[in-house]
Amino acid sequence: MKDKTTTVGQIMSTPVITVSPDDTMSKVQDIFRMNNIHHIPVADKGKVVGIISKSDYFRLLHGFTLFRTEKSNEYNDAIMRSLLVGEVMTKQVATLNPEDSL
Q: What is the pLDDT of residues 40-49, one digit of tens each?
A: 999 999 999 9
In angstroms, how far is the first alpha carbon of the chain from the final one?
10
How many domains does the chain fold into? 1
Q: Establish if 81 belongs to a structural domain.
A: yes
pLDDT higher than 90, residue 72 = no
Q: Establish if 39 belongs to a structural domain.
A: yes
Is residue 42 a contact partner of residue 48, using CB atoms and an 8 Å limit? yes
Q: What is the three-class DSSP state of 56?
A: helix
Average pLDDT over residues 53-75: 76
- pLDDT of 1 reads 52
Query: At 10, is the pLDDT very low, low, confident or very high (cuts 50, 70, 90)?
Result: confident
pLDDT above 90 coverage of the chain, percent: 46
Q: Establish if 65 belongs to a structural domain.
A: yes
Q: What CATH number is associated with residue 60?
A: 3.10.580.10
Q: Establish if 23 belongs to a structural domain.
A: yes
pLDDT higher than 60, residue 50 = yes
- Domain extent, residue 61, equals 17-88
DSSP string, 65-81: TTS--TTHHHHHHHHHH
- pLDDT of 2 reads 52
